[in-house]
Amino acid sequence: MKILGIDGSGLVASIAIVEDDNLIGEYTTGYKKTHSQTLLPMLDELSKMVELDLNTIDAIAVAAGPGSFTGLRIASATAKGLGLSLGCPIISVPTVDALAYNMWGSSDVICPILDARRGQVYTGLYDFDQSGHLNVLKEQCAVDFHDIAEEINSLGRPVTFLGDGTPVFAELISSIIQVPYRFAPAHVNRQHASSVAALGAVYYANGDCEPAADHRPEYLRLSQAERERLEKKGSLQ
């Protein structure tokens, strides 16, 4: 089984090929270019490097949200276009779940935090059982960081933080988190398409995929432009 993984949910742009239990190749950058400039050229370069015939791909796993609205649209459009042209199904992998999967095998509670602006984070809580299965303790959501901190403290277990919200909320973490905590190191603290593809393979094996034509990103909340439009109309609570 060969899975193409795509992640454009944040600043990082990432493409990966996972075949069965092997990572065949991954191209990941965190440089400030739009994903419309990076994802397809990265796929082309990676395909050349690993001599990949795209027609041999069984499914396309994409980080489906939440995250950057623009990045999600570009990554989803890329996955959808490829899926339609190749006749491949799409595996919609929750962004926060895939980020947590970076920490496979950890005994800590895993708390990815993505900066959602307006004082909020995209986050969730996870751990792994002894077989390596990812358990979702709290599904991905958009909340005030104080709310997720309260839940973390109530669990009473060590926690590992990762994601682009970590440096933004590091000072707050140090002041309100009451359990032992640590920050994931650089090689696993941001999005990776290899994690999207590997977790996507688990979903695919369980039949959790969709036709490319049906794929839509999951934003979890309204964009700033949509919020401002509704606020002007007085219809946003």
- Look up residue 210 and give its DSSP letter: B
Judge contact between 90 and 108, C-beta under 8 A: no
β 2-7/13-19 pair status: antiparallel
pLDDT band of 232, cuts 50, 70, 90: low
pLDDT reading at 160 higher than 60: yes
Scanning the chain, the segments in alpha helix (DSSP H) are 35-49, 69-86, 95-101, 145-155, 166-176, 193-205, 224-233
What SS3 class is residue 102?
coil
Of 224, 25, 1, the C-alpha closest to 116 is: 224
Judge contact between 5 and 18, C-beta under 8 A: yes
CA-to-CA distance for 105 and 75, rounded, in angstroms?
28
Q: What's the mean pLDDT in 165-193?
A: 97
pLDDT band of 234, cuts 50, 70, 90: low
End-to-end CA distance of the chain: 46
User: Quick one: 176 exposed, middle or buried, by C-beta within 10 A (0-12, 13-18, 19+)?
Assistant: middle
Confidence at residue 227, expressed as pLDDT on a 0 to 100 scale: 44
Q: What percentage of residues in the chain have a pLDDT greater than 90?
A: 86
pLDDT in tens, 10-33: 989 999 999 999 999 999 998 776
pLDDT band of 219, cuts 50, 70, 90: very high
Q: What's the mean pLDDT in 163-184?
A: 97
Confidence at residue 118, expressed as pLDDT on a 0 to 100 scale: 83
Identify any residues that bridge with 16 across adjacent strands, giving them in sequence order.
5, 26
Confidence at residue 34, expressed as pLDDT on a 0 to 100 scale: 78
Q: What's the mean pLDDT in 100-120?
A: 95
pLDDT reading at 217 higher than 60: yes
pLDDT band of 236, cuts 50, 70, 90: low
Number of neighbours of residue 217 by Cβ within 10 angstroms: 25
Judge contact between 151 and 125, C-beta under 8 A: yes
Task: Give the amino acid at 137.
Answer: L
Of 46, 50, 63, the C-alpha closest to 6 is: 63
Identify any residues that bridge with 27 across adjacent strands, giving them in sequence order.
15
